[in-house]
Chains A and B, each alone.
Chain A
Amino acid sequence: MNARHARTTRAPEPHDRTGWTGSTLRTQVWVLTARSLRAAFGDYRLVFFGLLQPVVLLLLFSQVFSGVGSLPGVAAYDGYINYLMPATLVNIAMITAMGAGAGLVAETYTGVVGRFRSLPISPVSVLLARTFADTARLAVQLVVIVVAAVLLLRFRPDGGPFGLAAAVLLTLVVGWGLSWVFVAIATWQRNVELMQAVSFIAMYPLMFSSSAYMPLQNMPAWVRAVATVNPLTYAIDAARALALGRSPGWALPLAVLLAMVAALGGGAAAARNFRRSA
C-alpha cells in the first residue's frame, strides 16, 4: 500500500545536479563486460552444461576416431588424443564464438540492446563487452577440458604445462577473433533461426575440412585444397605444435594475424550494422 501511495504522490527529481551525459569507453566496456559475465555465470545450470558440452565432444571424438591413431601422419603423435586435443580446443573456441552471435541476437529480442542504441554509448563498447565476456567463458571451458583430458584420457603433451598454456592462450586469441565474425553476422541477420543457419554453414566446413581430426595427407585432394585455405587449419596446427612442444613455424604468426583481421573486419561491419536499422 505504501509503495502505491508513494507512486502517486512523488515524482523523481530531474537531475540538473549530476549532469550524467555519458561515460568513457573504458567504463562502458567494463560495466557491460561485467553485466555479460554475470549473465553467463549467474545460472549454475547454464555453467554446468556449458562446461559439460565440450567434455562430451572430446570423449566422443577420442573414442569414435581412436582408429585414426594408427594412420600414417598420426602415429608419430604417440596417441590420437595428443593429435586431437589441441584441435578440440580450437573447435570449442569456434562453438563459443558462435554462441556470442546467438547471444547478441537473443539480447536484441529481450530489448536491452534496443535501449543501448538510444544511450550515449559507443556501439564498439557494447560489442567489445560481448566478445570479452564470451572469451572469459571460453577460458573457463578450455581449462576444464584440458584438466578432463589430462585426468580421463591420459593426455600428456610433450610441451608440458607451458606448451599447453601457450596453446590455450593462442586459442583464446583465435576465439576472440572468431567471435567478431559471428557478432557481425548477428548484427546483420537479426533473426535467431537465420543466424544459426548461416553460422552452421560457416561452422561445419571450417571445423571438418581442416587438420583437426585427420592429417591433410589422408584427405581427398579437393578437401585438402579447402583445408589449406581454411584459416582454422593454421590455428589448429599452431596450437598443436605449441602443445606438443614443436616449432609452430609460420602457422603461429599467421593464426594470430588472421584472428586480428577477423576482429577488425568483423568489428567494423558489426559496428556499422549495429547503428543501422531495418
Chain B
Amino acid sequence: MRKLGKMERARIDVTGLGKTYGPVTALTGVDLTVAAGSVLAVLGHNGAGKTTLVDILATRTRPSTGKASVCGYDVATHGHEVRRRIALTGQFASVDETLSARGNLVLFARLLGAPARAAKARAEELLEVFGLTEAADRPALTYSGGMRRRLDLAACLVGSPEVLFLDEPTTGLDPVSRTGLWATVRHLARSGTTVVLTTQYLEEADRLADRIVVLAAGAVVAGGTPAELKARVGARTTTVTFRDEWSARWAVEEFQRIGLAPTLDPDAYTVTAALPDAGVILALLRALDRYGLDLADLTVTEPTLDEVYLSLHRAKWQQPPAPAAVERDTA
C-alpha cells in the first residue's frame, strides 16, 4: 500500500529554475521532470551548474527564479516536508570527522528518528555493504578519500529516502567501489527510489540513467534517454594499434574495404574509425586476420562528454574543446 503511494508522489518537477550569485548565473531557465522510481543523470562540465541544481532540490540553496517541487512539495516553501523524503550526498564529504564511521551512521539514524538499537543495527548493515567494517571504529579523519566517500554514501542510505540526490558520487572511488555503487543505485531504483545523480562521465550516465540532461553554463542543452543522446552524438570509435607502420598502412585499406572511414596515425601505428554498429568489429577482425596482421592493442571507446558538447554545439558554453576531440573532428 505504502509503496503505491510512494510511486505516485516520488517525483520532481522543475520549471523555469534559475539561480544567480551576484553577477554569476549558475542556473537559468531549467525545466525538467523526473518520474517516480527513475534515475536521472545530470551531465556537465565543471561549473555547469550541477551542484547548484542538486542543492536547490535538496533545499540547501534557495532558487532565485522559477519553481521546483520534490515529492509534491515546493522546495522553497515546504523545505521540511522535502527533507523528510530525501537524502543527499553532496560533492564534498559531509560527515563528522571526529566520529568513526559507526558513530556517524548511528548519529544520522538517530536524527532520523531511529531508536538506539535499530540505529546500531542499520549502521552495522551499511558498514558491511560499503566495506567499512574494518575501519568502523577509527575517526573518519583518518580515512582515505575513497573511504570517506563511501561513508558519505552510506550515510544517505541510513533512512528510506524516496528521492536520493548524489552529487558526483563516483568521483574518487576505485573501480571496485564504483561498480558497487552502480549496483546499489540500480537496486534502489528497482525498489522504487527516485535517484538524481550528477556526473562528468557519459559512460556512467549511460549505465545508470533512464534519462539524461546535459547542463552547460547553467542551461539544459540536451535531454533524453541515453540511447537518444548517443544517437545524436554518434557512434563508438575503435582504435587499433599495430606493431609497425607498414601493418598500419596496410590495415587502412582493409578498414576501407569493409566500409569504415579510418584515420591513420603513422607515428603511433594506430588506425581509428567510427563504428556504425558493434557487428562491424567482427568483420574488421576477420579482415585483419586474413592477412595475418599482428595487433598490439584494440580499444572501443564510448563517445565522451566532449563529443556530446561538440555535437550539440548549441548556445553559449565556453568550455575549450579537448585537443583529442578537435583532432578527430578535423581528420
Contacts and interface: CB of A to CB of B under 8 A. Distances in A.
A107 to B, nearest CB: 8
A4 B131 contact: yes
A27 B79 CA distance: 20
A14 B59 contact: no
Interface stretch (A111-119, A130-138, A163-171, A173-181): A111-119
A15 B188 CA distance: 10
Nearest to A125: B111
Which of A19, A22, A38, A118 has most B Cβ within 10 Å? A118
B227 interface: no
A8 B180 contact: yes
A204 interface: no
A110 B131 contact: no
Interface in B42-100: 55, 58-62, 79-80, 83-88, 90, 92-99
B94 A6 contact: no
Interface in A1-27: 3-4, 6-16, 18-24, 27
A120 B80 contact: yes
B12 to A, nearest CB: 15
Contacts of A20: 109, 112-114, 158-160
Interface in B182-218: 183-184, 186-188, 191-193
Contacts of A4: 131, 176
Interface in A72-131: 107, 110-112, 114-121
Interface in B105-121: 107-114, 118
A31 interface: yes
Size range of the chain A interface in the assembly: 35 or more
Nearest to A40: B98
Nearest to B134: A3
B36 interface: no
A139 B87 CA distance: 37
Interface in B252-273: none
Interface stretch (B122-130, B239-247, B296-304, B315-323): B122-130
Interface stretch (A59-67, A205-213, A270-278): A270-278
Contacts of B94: 111-112, 114-115
A275 B79 CA distance: 10
B92 A8 contact: no
Contacts, number: 147
A199 interface: no
A163 B186 CA distance: 66
A42 interface: yes
A28 to B, nearest CB: 6
Given A3-B131, A10-B129, A14-B188, A23 B110 contact: yes
A35 interface: yes
B171 interface: no
Contacts of B111: 23, 27-28, 31-32, 116, 119, 121
A52 interface: no
A12 B125 contact: yes
A15 B183 contact: no
Contacts of A38: 98-99, 103
A115 B110 contact: no
A16 B160 contact: yes
Contacts of A11: 129, 183-184, 186-188
A42 B131 CA distance: 26
6 contacts: A11-B186, A12-B157, A23-B111, A31-B111, A115-B94, A277-B60
Interface of B: 2-3, 21, 55, 58-62, 79-80, 83-88, 90, 92-99, 103, 107-114, 118, 122, 125-126, 128-134, 154-155, 157-161, 176-177, 179-180, 183-184, 186-188, 191-193
Given A11-B188, A15-B159, 20 more contacts: A3-B131, A3-B133, A7-B131, A8-B176, A8-B180, A10-B128, A11-B183, A12-B187, A13-B125, A16-B2, A18-B118, A18-B160, A20-B109, A20-B112, A21-B85, A28-B111, A31-B110, A38-B99, A38-B103, A118-B59
